[in-house]
Structure 1
Amino acid sequence: MPKYIIRRVFTSIPIILGVLTVTFFVINLTPGDPLAMYVNPEISPGIREIMAERFGLNDPLPIRYFKWIKNFLTGDFGHSYSHNRPVKDVLFDAVPHTLLLSSTSLLLSIITGIAIGVVSALKKYTIYDHLVTVLSFFIYAMPSFWLALMLIIIFSLKLRLLPASNVRSIDADTLTLLPYLWNRVQHAILPVFVLAIGNAASKGRYMRSSLLEVIRQDYIRTARSKGLPEFLVIWKHAMRNALIPIVTIAGLSIPFLLSGSLIVEVIFAWPGMGQVIINSIFNRDYPLVMATTFISAVMVIFGNLVADVFYSVLDPRIRFD
């Protein structure tokens, strides 16, 4: 397993470089001047040239590309035009908030999806199963931005039970530990729910189908014929194999949580990667766009790697040489 992981990491390097190369040339060949949004149009041409030289915009495109690759490999992501700060500092401020939001919603969606799928499979073709099926398709088809706005209107504006934006209150720093933690939890409830509910619905459907297929297998009939309690038959024999597709889907959903959080973070004013990515694109902040693209590519590869590793843990027949 360690050799496989190391090999996957090394084989992922050309993929990441390819993604970054394509992104670099697409962004830099787009018509327009990135400095036009940040400098006074009435400044002298000399000062404008100095600023363009400072950001390396006067160099030929191939030279800029190789300089950027060299700096990128040494951990220098460049200087953000829009934030007037090093890109690394901008990411350090935003990434923890997105990781907190995405990891919490992913964990909640997996637990909820598995629970719903198992109960639905064990009660197949009952009223509960039909009700869960209808609700799952309805929730899965529901746009996340619409759900977010409806929850804000209901729980923030009408009932005034939960805050509508940001990660904490303005006066949160004056609170003691437990009230501070509860304040953070209150601000996270709505965005986490919006991200988790759709994923939980889809995982519940996959779990139901997978468990129904597994419990029809011969070894499940053998376990039942030996007199084992139904609880042990399901949780000890059926669940492990039924979880294999769920693990694969959960691993592949890691990068999609980032894309899904873009809209959610903007609606809830969550200071994470979503707002950074959208603002960097609209502001033509080339260094920041490249850095966020790199993080997205790494998340895709990491998600696939996690899925493969857990797949081999759940299925002993899978071996990586």
Structure 2
Amino acid sequence: MARYVLKRVIGIIPIVAVVSIISFLFVHLTPGDPIRIMYGADMDLATYETMKAKLGFNDPLYVQYGRYLGQILSGDFGISYKTKTNVSDEIGRRFLYTLGLTFASMFWALLIGLVVGIYSAAKRKSFWDRLGIISTTTIISIPEFWFGLMLMQVFAVQLGWLPTSGSGTFAHLILPSITLGFGVAAIIARFTRSSVLEVLQEDFVRTARAKGQRESVIIWTHVLRNALIPVITMTGLQFGFLLGGAVVVEQVFAWPGLGSYLIDSVLARDYPAMQALILLFSVQFLIVNLLVDISYSLVNPQIRYE
């Protein structure tokens, strides 16, 4: 296992290098002048040229990339053009908000998705199975921002039970986590149902039934161990997406996470913040995929990595 993990970690390095180049070019070739955005379009030419030289925009792109690469290898993502603060510090502060929102959302997603998916598969073609299929299809089709606004309208505006936006208490976390979690729960429920139904057709399940074992015992003891492999893959992918910043939901609920930071950085053409966030999201996704692969052997001991 250790050898496999080491090989995967080494394999991540060239991927991150390519991502850093692509993100650097993407950010610098995006239309929009950060100097004009920061200081106004009516600034005089002399001041403009001074700021351009100070920020290093007069250098060729390969020189700017070399300077950027040296910064990230030293653990420094530079200074934000907009806020004049250290980008690393800002990411560290906002990452905790995004991480908390991600774990809370995945709690709802796994709790609801696994229960609905397993029960629908166990009661195939029943009323409850059809209700589960219709419900998950409907939830997947609903835009997250609309669902979040409806939750806000009911539970915050009309009932007054929860705050509409912001952060700071557990109550602020409930609505955005439910908004994100229900969409992921619907996806997990569909994958769980399909996977469980597929495993239920296997020979070892028929053998267990022939021995007189109860259906609930068969599902929880024999079926889930094999059915959860594709579910874990999908859960890991969704976790990686959420950890990369739930941009729309964070904007709706004014949640101070990485998603809202990315939007602010793009609007301000804040190159250091944009580059750091894109690189961070890519590394996070690669790490989550590695952890998902490792978890396979924990769920099913027959899986071994050499």
- Same fold, TM exceeding 0.5? yes
Shift of 1:30: 3.1
The share of aligned pairs that are identical, in percent, is: 39
Q: Which position in structure 2 is the counterpart of 1:171?
A: none
Q: Bigger CA drift: 105-114 or 194-203?
A: 105-114
Q: Which position in structure 2 is the counterpart of 1:295?
A: 280
Structure 1's unaligned 5+ residue stretches are 169-183
Shift of 1:50: 4.1
Q: Bigger CA drift: 296-305 or 273-282?
A: 296-305
Q: Which position in structure 1 is the counterpart of 2:152?
A: 152
Q: Which position in structure 2 is the counterpart of 1:179?
A: none
Structure 2's unaligned 5+ residue stretches are none
Q: Which position in structure 2 is the counterpart of 1:217?
A: 202
Q: Which position in structure 2 is the counterpart of 1:110?
A: 110
- The count of residues paired between Structure 1 and Structure 2 equals 306
Shift of 1:43: 5.4
In structure 2, the CA distance between the partners of 1:41 and 1:262, relative to structure 1 (3 Å rule), is: closer
Is 1:250 matched up with 2:235?
Answer: yes
In structure 2, the CA distance between the partners of 1:139 and 1:42, relative to structure 1 (3 Å rule), is: closer
What are the residue-to-residue correspondences of 1:116-195 with 2, within 5 Å? 116-168=116-168, 184-195=169-180
Shift of 1:226: 2.6
Q: Partners of 2:83 and 2:148 in 1: how far apart? A: 28
Q: Bigger CA drift: 34-43 or 205-214?
A: 34-43
Shift of 1:318: 2.9
Q: Is the 8 A contact 2:106 2:181 kept in 1?
A: yes
Q: Partners of 2:107 and 2:258 in 1: how far apart? A: 19
In structure 2, the CA distance between the partners of 1:301 and 1:223, relative to structure 1 (3 Å rule), is: same
TM-score (norm 2): 0.94
Q: Is the 8 A contact 2:78 2:87 kept in 1?
A: yes
Q: Which position in structure 1 is the counterpart of 2:99?
A: 99
Secondary structure at the residue paired with 1:253? helix
Q: Partners of 1:191 and 1:254 in 2: how far apart? A: 15
Q: AA paired with 1:97?
A: Y
Is 1:227 matched up with 2:192?
Answer: no
Q: Is the 8 A contact 2:34 2:268 kept in 1?
A: yes
Is 1:17 matched up with 2:2?
Answer: no
Per-residue displacement from partner, 1:217-271 (whole Å, max 9, x unpaired)? 1111222323334332221111111111100111111222246710000000000
Per-residue displacement from partner, 1:3-54 (whole Å, max 9, x unpaired)? 1112111111111111110111122133442111222556565544443343
Q: Which position in structure 2 is the counterpart of 1:76?
A: 76
Q: Bigger CA drift: 195-204 or 1-10?
A: 1-10
Q: Which position in structure 1 is the counterpart of 2:250?
A: 265
Per-residue displacement from partner, 1:73-132 (whole Å, max 9, x unpaired)? 110101100111011111112110001001221232122211111111111111111111
Q: Which position in structure 2 is the counterpart of 1:172?
A: none
Secondary structure at the residue paired with 1:38? helix
Q: Indicate the RMSD between aligned Cα atoms, in angstroms.
A: 1.8
Secondary structure at the residue paired with 1:84? coil
Q: Partners of 1:284 and 1:3 in 2: how far apart? A: 42
Q: Bigger CA drift: 222-231 or 234-243?
A: 222-231
Aligned counterpart for 1:280 among listed residues 265, 273, 276: 265
Is 1:54 matched up with 2:57?
Answer: no
Q: Is the 8 A contact 2:229 2:296 kept in 1?
A: yes
In structure 2, the CA distance between the partners of 1:45 and 1:201, relative to structure 1 (3 Å rule), is: same
Q: Is the 8 A contact 2:156 2:162 kept in 1?
A: yes
Q: Partners of 1:117 and 1:202 in 2: how far apart? A: 10
Q: AA paired with 1:255?
A: G
Q: AA paired with 2:158?
A: K
Q: AA paired with 1:193?
A: I
Q: Which position in structure 2 is the counterpart of 1:175?
A: none
Q: Is the 8 A contact 2:244 2:284 kept in 1?
A: no
Q: Which position in structure 1 is the counterpart of 2:63?
A: 63
Q: AA paired with 1:223?
A: A
Q: Is the 8 A contact 1:253 1:303 kept in 2?
A: no
Q: AA paired with 1:303?
A: V
Q: Which position in structure 1 is the counterpart of 2:295?
A: 310
Q: Is the 8 A contact 1:254 1:299 kept in 2?
A: no
Q: Which position in structure 2 is the counterpart of 1:181?
A: none
In structure 2, the CA distance between the partners of 1:139 and 1:43, relative to structure 1 (3 Å rule), is: closer
Q: Is the 8 A contact 1:195 1:260 kept in 2?
A: no
Q: Partners of 1:31 and 1:133 in 2: how far apart? A: 44
Q: Partners of 2:53 and 2:102 in 1: how far apart? A: 39
